[in-house]
């Protein structure tokens, strides 16, 4: 069995909606960081696919974190992000995906 590691992916508020990873992957952790306004990140199973997870970060409360530990979320058709940055491009989303060591990426 191949060992795994977490690969970080960061999406700035100034980036367009789209694929964070355009292939099957498993998400282990998500952080949504607001800036001047509330921020909502919607994660779908590929472009136009089913909504698998939604996270909101309130500007007054700060970052919102979610870890899935031993049971990561499977995005069979790729990890697609619809990001409402609250009108502030300083907001961001970070995810950690599970990768096999043999992938080398």
pLDDT-derived band at 105 (thresholds 50, 70, 90) equals low
Give dist(CA 20, CA 102) in Å, integer: 20
Domains of the chain by residue range? 4-103
Q: What span, in angstroms and rounded, lies between the C-alpha atoms of 102 and 4?
A: 9
Q: DSSP states of 12-33 as a string?
A: ETTSPSEEEESS-EEEEEEEEE
Q: Is the pLDDT of residue 32 over 90?
A: yes
pLDDT in tens, 60-95: 888 888 998 888 999 999 999 999 988 888 999 999
Q: Which CATH architecture is the domain 4-103 placed in?
A: Sandwich (2.60)
């Amino acid at each position: 069995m191949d060992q795994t590691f977490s690969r970080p992916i960061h999406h700035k508020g100034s980036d367009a909606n789209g694929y964070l990873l355009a292939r099957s992957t498993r998400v282990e952790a998500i952080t949504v960081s607001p800036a001047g306004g509330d921020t909502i990140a919607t994660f779908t199973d590929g472009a136009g696919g089913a909504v698998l997870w939604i996270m909101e970060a309130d500007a007054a409360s700060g970052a919102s974190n979610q870890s899935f530990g031993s049971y990561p979320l499977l995005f069979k058709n790729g990890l697609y992000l619809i990001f409402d940055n609250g009108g502030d491009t300083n907001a961001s989303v970070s995810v950690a995906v599970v990768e096999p060591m043999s992938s080398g990426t």
